């Protein structure tokens, strides 16, 4: 087993891997105790070369690996690539390109939503994976033989999986769909965590514009704290405490200390001062900079009825084309379409628009109807009783 621990070994291995038309890539990392994922091991298989890169080895320089990740002549194959790419982007400021994500490709080919790697390997290669080492401590050294065998297996199976899955994708004539999805994964903006946007990841458990303004500032403050100290967001302040503070908008140490969601002593700590300053910024925010509250508002009965029909249309469309419904549209996107014909959502762009979005809007306009034919939902033109399926 080729375990690389020096820069010289890495340079030689990457030179060999650069000759392959595609390479399978995976990483082992830990992030339970940190904000940024801590890379512990890199696995690559391409052509006849199979390597494990111990990036925690003293003195090793990962530049040859990062150069390989942006080599336009080598396709990088991942399964569920987002976190692996996030690691590369955070460490080197680059995004691997070109890439092929087997999880997304599997959804395009009809293997279901968020299909697991083990299931794909079983279905396409007929192999059972031993996942017992998945949650071991990858930061401890030395790594056991069992850990190394498990880690290398992930990319050797992936190397064999890729040609079979690509053949299915080519047969389905949906390669352009995958290209659209890979464009999102290879966009640096996907991995840029701007503190001022942190509030968007939160559930809108607030009821007023003033509370939202405070929440926006609190979330940005927490994001900056977590990033700079490299600790999980919840270690700085839990979500429930954010909602509590946003709703109460405490302006003094005493008011902050009275909140039950905070532990004793927090109000007088440096973080407590930071919270109070964020509250003041939120209260002073220009109302025009605070978006209208939408998420969490009850849907009007007529919009709820439209959404129910859109769900049926989505399932019928996904079943007819053999695509995972979640890849076409999420529940949030269906709600946006139900509320507005001008919704700015991925379901109304690109291949999704042609596959589902156009019919969704036509259904809202009363130009399409849903019925059941031979036990299956069928889409009909409202004026004509002809089966469009």
Q: Which of 214, 280, 276 is nearest to 247 (CA)?
A: 214
Quote the pLDDT of residue 373.
Answer: 87
Whether 282 and 248 have beta carbons less than 8 Å apart is answered as no
pLDDT tens-digit series, residues 90-121: 999 999 999 999 999 999 998 887 678 999 99
Q: Find the mean pLDDT for residues 316-341.
A: 91
Q: Find the mean pLDDT for residues 41-52.
A: 97
Task: Please check the confidence at residue 225 and state whether its pLDDT lies above 60.
Answer: yes
What does pTM read for this prediction?
0.85
pLDDT tens-digit series, residues 330-357: 999 999 999 888 889 999 999 999 999 9
Here the tokens at position 265 are 């002593």
Quote the pLDDT of residue 377.
Answer: 87
pLDDT tens-digit series, residues 373-386: 888 888 888 765 45
Mean pLDDT of all residues belonging to the chain: 92
pLDDT tens-digit series, residues 185-200: 999 999 999 999 999 9
Q: Structural domains in the chain?
A: 2-190 (3.30.420.10), 195-289 (1.10.150.80), 301-381 (1.10.150)
Share of the chain above pLDDT 70, in %: 97
- Residue 296 pLDDT grade (very low, low, confident, very high; cuts 50, 70, 90): low
Quote the pLDDT of residue 196.
Answer: 96
Q: Find the mean pLDDT for residues 370-374.
A: 87
Here the tokens at position 266 are 């927090």
Q: Which of 324, 322, 361 is nearest to 345 (CA)?
A: 361
Whether 292 and 319 have beta carbons less than 8 Å apart is answered as no
Quote the pLDDT of residue 386.
Answer: 52
Whether 327 and 356 have beta carbons less than 8 Å apart is answered as no
């Amino acid at each position: 087993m080729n375990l690389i621990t020096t820069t010289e070994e890495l340079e030689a291995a990457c030179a060999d891997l650069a000759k392959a038309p595609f390479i399978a890539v995976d990483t082992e990392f830990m992030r339970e105790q940190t904000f940024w994922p801590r890379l512990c091991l890199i696995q690559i298989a391409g052509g006849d070369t199979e390597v494990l890169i111990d990036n925690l080895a003293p003195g090793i320089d990962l530049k040859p690996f990062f150069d390989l990740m942006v080599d336009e002549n080598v396709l990088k194959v991942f399964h569920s690539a987002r976190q692996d790419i996030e690691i590369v982007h955070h460490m080197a400021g680059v995004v691997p390109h070109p890439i092929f994500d087997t999880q997304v490709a599997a959804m395009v080919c009809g293997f279901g939503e968020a299909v697991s790697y083990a299931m794909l390997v079983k279905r396409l290669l007929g192999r059972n994976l031993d996942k017992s080492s998945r949650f071991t401590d990858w930061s401890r050294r030395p790594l056991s033989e069992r850990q190394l065998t498990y880690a290398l297996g992930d990319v050797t199976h992936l190397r064999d999986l890729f040609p079979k899955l690509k053949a299915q994708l080519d047969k389905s004539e949906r390669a352009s769909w995958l290209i659209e999805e890979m464009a999102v994964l290879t966009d640096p903006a996907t991995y840029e965590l701007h503190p001022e946007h942190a509030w968007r990841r939160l559930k809108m458990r607030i009821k007023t514009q003033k509370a939202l303004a405070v929440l926006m500032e609190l979330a940005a403050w927490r994001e900056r704290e977590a990033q700079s100290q490299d600790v999980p967001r919840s270690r700085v302040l839990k979500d429930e405490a954010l909602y509590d503070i946003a709703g109460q908008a405490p302006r003094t140490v005493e008011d902050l200390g009275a909140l039950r969601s905070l532990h004793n002593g927090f109000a007088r700590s440096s973080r407590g001062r930071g919270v109070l300053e964020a509250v003041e910024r939120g209260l002073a925010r220009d109302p025009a900079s605070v978006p209208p509250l939408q998420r969490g508002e009850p849907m009007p009965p007529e919009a709820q009825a439209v959404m129910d029909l859109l769900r049926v249309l989505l399932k019928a469309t996904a079943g007819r084309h053999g695509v995972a419904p979640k890849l076409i549209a999420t529940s949030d996107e269906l709600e946006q379409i139900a509320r507005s014909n001008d919704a700015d959502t991925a379901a109304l762009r690109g291949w999704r628009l042609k596959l589902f979005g156009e019919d969704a809007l036509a259904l809202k306009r009363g130009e399409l109807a849903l019925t059941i034919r031979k036990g299956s939902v069928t889409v009909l033109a409202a004026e004509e009783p002809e089966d469009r399926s």
